[in-house]
Amino acid sequence: MVAGLFNNWDRSYLCGYRLAHHRKIGYKEMEREVNIRDYFKVIVKWRRLIVFNTAVITILTVVISLVLPKKYTASATLLPPVEQPEILGIGSLLGGGLGAVASMAGLPGMATASDVFVKILKSRRVMERVIQKCNLMDEYGAETLEEAVISLKGATSPEVSPEGLIIVYVDAKTAVLAAKIANSYIDELDRFNTEVNMTRGKRNRMFIEDRLEQVKEDLSAAEESLKVFQQEHKTVSLDEEVKAAIVAAGNLKAEIIAREVQLGVLRE
């Protein structure tokens, strides 16, 4: 009897649960239908405003695209400079040309050659040459060189890529002008680098020539002293110990000269 009551209660509870579950689902479907109808009513009610706003935005977009001048972007990519070996085994010291440029540009000591070249591209000297070469004062309608520099600076974006490549982006009214400006930047960078290397090479050559002349004079003085010594002591040949001492002194003198050359280059 008790078991039958429990079974009847379970069936009643299960039926009630199913009925409530179906009602809940029905309420959700009705609510969804109501929401969709409400949205549709709002759209119908404000359809004129929606159409008007869409038309206005479309017209403004077309007008702006026609009024604003077209802008073309050109880019030039450079490989990072490769370190070249120098003579006399002091290549790292003779490579001070770019190091001096980096110091004057305010770059940190760990700046790469690519960073230095980007700084050079942003320099006023290079920009003025590009302006003159491409006749940008007329293109920009600038009355002064300063105005042209400001316009070119805003249209140019040199940077270093994550791979270390040097990329120059240039915006201009025409594709031809953008490409011309980008190529001019590359030409001026190459010109600047050539001038720096020539100046550095000339300075090093003059210093080494001066040191070589001094060494020749010292060597002539040493030979003259040796002749005087031989005449006074009536010696024709030197023993092995004296020869070894002379060779050692010569090697030491050569080492001193090499160090002086390195020191002089560093001071320059």
173-207: pLDDT as tens digits: 889 999 999 999 999 888 888 887 777 666 666 67
The tokens 């409530």 sit on which residue? 20
Q: Say whether pLDDT at 117 is over 50.
A: yes
pTM of this structure: 0.51
Whether 194 and 186 have beta carbons less than 8 Å apart is answered as: no
> Which one is predicted more confidently, 171 or 80?
171
Work out the angle at residue 256's Cα, subtended by the Cα atoms of residues 262 and 89, and round it to the nearest 5 degrees.
40
Q: Where are the domains of the chain?
A: 2-66, 72-204, 213-267
Rounded average pLDDT over 211-233: 69
Q: What is the second-level CATH architecture of the domain 72-204?
A: 2-Layer Sandwich (3.30)
> Which one is predicted more confidently, 127 or 71?
127
CA distances from 112 to 52, 105, 165, 188 (A): 57, 13, 11, 20
> Which one is predicted more confidently, 243 or 102?
243
Average pLDDT of every residue of the chain: 71
Q: Which residues contact 168 (CB under 8 A, 6 or more apart)?
A: 75, 76, 77, 78, 121, 156, 157, 158, 182, 185, 186
Work out the angle at residue 177's Cα, subtended by the Cα atoms of residues 176 and 179, and round it to the nearest 5 degrees.
65
3-state secondary structure of 45: helix
Q: Which residues contact 178 (CB under 8 A, 6 or more apart)?
A: 72, 73, 74, 170, 171, 172
